[in-house]
Structure 1
């Protein structure tokens, strides 16, 4: 790739982050619009049992997450050889078309299918964009490159999701999804204009990319991310009823609650990228501890407006900081399956998304209340930390097969946990 001016690099990174902004908006906007979607697509059930209707509408969140889980490894395995700019443009176009279909589908089952299809490019986009950003930013800054691409996603929770939620509450949820489609169309154009040409990996093969799944440390990292984000999405999926039924806010204030959560996510993502560059495993352990404390704060304070705001801010910051740390860890242990490692992290996170939305809806439908998802998130932290420890142990015993960040010593881990 020829030498680029600082301005060109910034524009390219901005174009990549715009895609993250669109993805964050399309992924999270359903959380604030679940009551509207349930009333429109499930009117009979909503009239009879609003909680059950909300739980079923949560399937839209699970369907999107399932699309990410399927799409990320599939596209990464077959597309690693493709020129990266061309691949990113194609993925943005698929996002646009899938989101338009989500807005126009007439029935609940068809909307569920459309959300699944719209999610297929999600993990591959973030994975390829992270590799492009890492090349643009230079060596030793992978964690910050990952965080920069994810910054678009976190900013979406400060600006995009609340704004689109407000639009959906006043103009209809279908109009909200059409607005999201416009963001993806702008992303495709920005990539064409600003991102420099990068060849794919000519040595990449499906077998080589899939070889990532033969490494136990990769599986442990994926399980760690899935459980950590399962706890986060158990809370995030039901922010709207948490704010209205527990804190006593009017529905019009739900976008503000989402802004608070998004601010936390933006700050946490930047912090997580910097921590990952100084040791991904140390970052993972420390951030899981912070996430657990944040959930306790939310559980205790959710009944008041101030307690809800503080809890959501801390939960968003600590959970979001885990993501770049996990992705950097995956790139450390995946050897030469870098495209797969960069993409499949988002499969794991969206398994957590699906798991959190499903289990969060289940505990609500069981009558345990709208704070129950936060308790669920706290419970999921325990196996999450266990899998992180197992992955650290396996990686230390295995012979290194590629470039990897220095592993922390047991004493360093102990100091983090303490």
Structure 2
């Protein structure tokens, strides 16, 4: 993989830290700003909503600029809103900064995904995607636990300042490593790229990505109260638990990247089935510390292994949208990131307890397996009626 991909991962690390670190800061934010824990958890959903809206919108806007210029512009906005978030005393303003920061993050990630694929070999989209997403998993391993620890020592605002400082070298890395050419001569018309959404394979992949990522964020957002109130661990264990999830995700992305280009069906079907069972096991065994710690690692690996494979499959499914395919994938996955915490918070708010988000996660993954199975059967029937129709290839690629 080109070294520039690893430098792009530095910027993704900073942004991933910001996106995920709220999992360890939700109780502190709720107390400081006088809101409920589910309301503070909704900050994750607000960020995800900004990612959903911003990914295709910012990717389309970025077509006017060079890739390096777009990436630097998005990073600048991201840095500025974190300064505002660190000093505000208003929960409403904090929500706004999360949405604006998400718009910038969405634009950056959409352009970065396309840039990573352009820098890699044509048949190595999965490896390129996993390399870039290594920054996200590193954020889970290092950035999120560090943010939680900083929050416990000096308050949640200090964690926002830390993200600002980490973003500064990311700006320098992008400026030095990303080519400045725009590649306009290689870009099809915007209308042509939007027509890529008509692909049944792409729509199915995006739906599955939204469901799997929704399951991931549903539990991840409420891991801190789960391990302190249900598992019975002290607050000092929260960074450890988050680090375990992040370490698992790092392993999952690495392993998934090795097979995403060659055996995506095996990763999605086999990994998805075990992922569903794992969420159920965590919901049942959350009262046992050793079991909880082990399952947090396993679920992190499975969630990101399956999720990163779905992202690469979305890029493969949209060859006619070389500049917007990253936006499509980013938007779909953040539909899940918005839906998951909202469903988990709703379950908690109705009095079902902190185990309930884990059960919701199991249900979302089960739904994705049902949808994939139905699509595979429909694709098989279409292939029998008309051999060579694109729908039959779609079913095979996702369920083989």
Do both share a fold (TM > 0.5)? Answer: yes
Of 366, 372, 384, the residue aligned with 1:388 is 372
Distance 1:71 1:256, change over 3 A: same
Q: 1:341 Cα deviation (Å)?
A: 1.6
Of 6, 22, 25, the residue aligned with 1:30 is 22
Give per-residue Cα distances to partners, 1:130-174, cap 9 Å, x unaligned: 232233332321101000000011011111111111111111111
Distance 1:217 1:360, change over 3 A: same
Give per-residue Cα distances to partners, 1:86-126, cap 9 Å, x unaligned: 21111111211122222222201110011000000223322
Structure 2 residue 269 is matched with structure 1 residue 285: yes
Partner of 1:17: 9
Of 170, 179, 186, the residue aligned with 1:187 is 170
Of 320, 323, 327, the residue aligned with 2:307 is 323
Distance 1:391 1:189, change over 3 A: farther
Give per-residue Cα distances to partners, 1:258-301, cap 9 Å, x unaligned: 00000000000111222211143443222211211221231232
Partner of 1:344: 328
Partner of 1:40: 32
**Does the CA contact (< 8 Å) of 1:327 and 1:341 recur in 2?**
no
Counterpart CA distance in 1 for 2:270 and 2:60 is 32
Counterpart CA distance in 1 for 2:108 and 2:357 is 30
Deviates further, 372-381 or 209-218: 209-218
What secondary structure is seen at the aligned counterpart in 2 of 1:90?
Answer: helix
Please give the residue correspondences for 1:89-100 in structure 2 after superposition, counting only pairs within 5 Å.
Answer: 89-100=72-83
Partner of 1:205: 189
Question: Under a length normalisation based on structure 1, what TM-score does the superposition of the two structures give?
Answer: 0.88
Partner of 1:76: 59
Q: 1:81 Cα deviation (Å)?
A: 4.9
Partner of 2:358: 374
Of 93, 101, 107, the residue aligned with 2:90 is 107
Partner of 2:38: 55
Partner of 1:142: 125
**Does the CA contact (< 8 Å) of 2:214 and 2:336 recur in 1?**
yes
What secondary structure is seen at the aligned counterpart in 1 of 2:352?
Answer: coil
Counterpart CA distance in 2 for 1:291 and 1:181 is 34
What secondary structure is seen at the aligned counterpart in 1 of 2:323?
Answer: helix
**Does the CA contact (< 8 Å) of 1:217 and 1:394 recur in 2?**
no
Deviates further, 203-212 or 241-250: 203-212
Counterpart CA distance in 1 for 2:318 and 2:114 is 14
Partner of 2:256: 272
Number of residue pairs matched by the alignment: 394
Q: 1:304 Cα deviation (Å)?
A: 1.6
What secondary structure is seen at the aligned counterpart in 2 of 1:120?
Answer: helix
Distance 1:257 1:286, change over 3 A: same
Please give the residue correspondences for 1:288-307 in structure 2 after superposition, counting only pairs within 5 Å.
Answer: 288-307=272-291
Counterpart CA distance in 2 for 1:386 and 1:200 is 40
Partner of 1:238: 222
Q: 1:302 Cα deviation (Å)?
A: 1.4
Distance 1:389 1:339, change over 3 A: farther
Q: 1:394 Cα deviation (Å)?
A: 5.3
Q: 1:340 Cα deviation (Å)?
A: 1.7
Counterpart CA distance in 2 for 1:270 and 1:222 is 21
**Does the CA contact (< 8 Å) of 1:281 and 1:325 recur in 2?**
no
Distance 1:196 1:26, change over 3 A: same
Distance 1:281 1:94, change over 3 A: farther
Counterpart CA distance in 2 for 1:391 and 1:206 is 29
Give per-residue Cα distances to partners, 1:340-379, cap 9 Å, x unaligned: 2222212121111111111111111111111111111111
**Does the CA contact (< 8 Å) of 2:55 and 2:103 recur in 1?**
yes
Distance 1:213 1:240, change over 3 A: same
Q: 1:408 Cα deviation (Å)?
A: 7.1
What secondary structure is seen at the aligned counterpart in 1 of 2:119?
Answer: helix
Partner of 2:135: 152
Distance 1:400 1:83, change over 3 A: farther
Please list every run of 5 or more consecutive structure 2 residues that lacks an aligned counterpart in the other structure. none
Of 110, 116, 131, the residue aligned with 1:133 is 116
Q: 1:197 Cα deviation (Å)?
A: 3.1
